[in-house]
Amino acid sequence: MAYGLPRRFVLFRSTCYGPRRRCKRVPSGGPDRYEEINLFCGRSLPHSWWLRNMAHNKFTHSPVAASKQLEWKVPLGNDDAKLNFVLKTPKGTRDYHPKQMAIRERVFNIIINCFKLHGAQTIDTPVFELKETLTGKYGEDSKLIYDLKDQGGELLSLRYDLTVPFARYLAMNKITNIKRYQVAKVYRRDDPAMSKGRYREFYQCDFDIAGKYDTMVPDAECLKIVHEILSELQLGDFLIKINDRRILGGMFAVCGVPENMFRTVCSSVDKLDKNPWSDVKKELVQEKGLTPEVADHIGDYVRQSGGLELIQHLQQDPQLSQNKQFLEGLSDVKTLFEYLELFGVTNQISVDLSLARGLDYYTGVIFEAVLLWDQKELHVQQQNDHDEALNVGSVAGGGRYDGLVGLFDPKGKKVPCVGVSIGIERICSLMEKKAAEERVRTTTTKVLVAAAQKDFLKERIKLISILWDSGIPAEMLYKKNPKLLSQLHYCEETGIPLVVIIGEQEIKDGVVKLRVVRTREEVDVPRGSLIEEIRKRLSHS
């Protein structure tokens, strides 16, 4: 017996897979038994009851089943799936190469440093939440939530954003005042447009202020933070659009929109930044069921944008000025504008009545930042019903959500909150395109420890250890006898600014040779003064 097979069946080697071959020895039983063996070792499963059971027992339950299945290439199990497998990342995800990671790290550092500058603390929350925690918080976007397969316990979903988990965190821990930031991945079952920085797995950088404070002061700080970050990143001109959900609610009520249709109309109006009004109106009438007259009335309002002059104009509107909800929202936006003037950022701020942001949890001021490029730069033709600067999508967004924490609190206790989320992926995609032709350093190495002659590996190890212990980023090549030219070439390729060279003469004289890669200047430095000299030169570079 071999692997549980009768001796007369051990006839074929692994090469038998494929066209039928003659055996060197035909087993007893004649051609019928030979055909059964051929079927077993060839292209299909055996048809006889005995062989079918033998194949099942010996080849699926045997300890050697997997190895013999591959060796004999019997088409059992999921071999076809293995043969069709394509090695790739899942749809909507990507790997990041060292150059891309260097760019991303710079962006993260700018954002996090800004958050810290404003006194924020950081927290972390699970990458998945109870499904019930996320359900009903995102309006029509709820269909984009990733649900995890039930493992017989809790029903779970991957987090859609960082805001809802933050609200759950506040309610669980009875926290009523905090200024926090969080940088973490979120997941959405969206149709990815990876060239535009849209993915199914991506980072968000969130800054939030929770607590009862004077009206619009925390909101103004959030907008100031967005302005600081986008200015520091130097991505070009940008615009921060602001609106208020109460303004939208009052405006829609005046136009004749039923209260129960507020959210669905918001989701349509919010598409005005990407689609012309004619398309939005068509959706409102044909899909949402509004009359053309109501849709036109909405269009008269939502296509307006501007600064304080628009606020003053809206205050005098005979219909809107009679709506209490609208006036409350407009009053807060006016106060917000006054604070933003004190911060000196109103040149990049605009009140935009089409801004709706579809998430259900917003209750007051909402805002969104977009990058502005002219038509030649974008190489697109866009026909709008009104003139406006072209944008390449939102890179930040946020708003006030005073009721979200109360949804998780057993007693319904509300904690006023306002926050902003920075769209890191779209920013990084733009910066990668800008840096496509540039040489981007992927390490922070400042010094390469090199040798001018052979057999100096131990000396290099001793010297680089001194540099590391002194906190100086350093490298050396992992060869016993690297050529000096190769070592210098490595510095030029990777952007390492300094080289420490040791040799027989340097050891005799108690010095090392310090070379500046860019200028090729070389100086002898006493070994005891090496660390001080390196720090001095790095501080001036």
Q: Which residues are annotated as a binding site?
A: 161-163, 188, 204, 208, 357, 361-362
Q: Which alpha helices (DSSP H) does 366-524 contain, by range? A: 375-378, 404-408, 424-434, 457-469, 484-494, 504-509
Cα 399 to Cα 395: distance, rounded to the nearest angstrom? 14
Beta carbons of 372 and 135 less than 8 angstroms apart: no
Map residue 184 onto helix, strand or coil. Answer: strand
Q: Within its chain, how far is the Cα of 471 from the centroid?
A: 32
Cα 414 to Cα 266: distance, rounded to the nearest angstrom? 24
Phi-psi region at 207: left, alpha or beta (left = phi > 0; alpha = psi -120 to 50): beta
Cα 179 to Cα 209: distance, rounded to the nearest angstrom? 4
- Encoded tokens for 7: 């001796």
Among 222, 500, 501, CA closest to 369: 222
Q: Are strands 121-122 and 201-210 parallel, antiparallel or unpaired?
A: unpaired
The amino acid occupying position 501 is I
Query: In Å, what is the CA distance from 71 to each residue of 14, 43, 118, 419, 431?
Result: 6, 14, 64, 59, 50
Q: For residue 421, give every residue at least 6 positions away whose Cβ sits within 8 Å of its Cβ, in sequence order, or none.
A: 161, 162, 163, 204, 205, 206, 396, 397, 398
Q: Which residues of 198-220 are buried (b: 16+ CB within 10 A; e: fewer)?
A: bbbbbbbbbbbbbeeeeebebbb
Which residues are annotated as part of the binding site for L-histidine?
Answer: 161-163, 188, 204, 208, 357, 361-362
Map residue 364 onto helix, strand or coil. Answer: coil
Backbone angles phi, psi at 333, to 5 degrees: -65, -40
> 3-state SS of 214-238?
CCCHHHHHHHHHHHHHHHHHCCCCE
Beta carbons of 166 and 388 less than 8 angstroms apart: no
Among 46, 51, 93, 293, CA closest to 189: 93
Among 393, 512, 498, CA closest to 451: 512
Q: Which alpha helices (DSSP H) does 374-423 contain, by range? A: 375-378, 404-408
Beta carbons of 111 and 229 less than 8 angstroms apart: yes
Cα 367 to Cα 362: distance, rounded to the nearest angstrom? 11
Q: For residue 325, give every residue at least 6 positions away whose Cβ sits within 8 Å of its Cβ, in sequence order, or none.
A: 246, 249, 250, 253
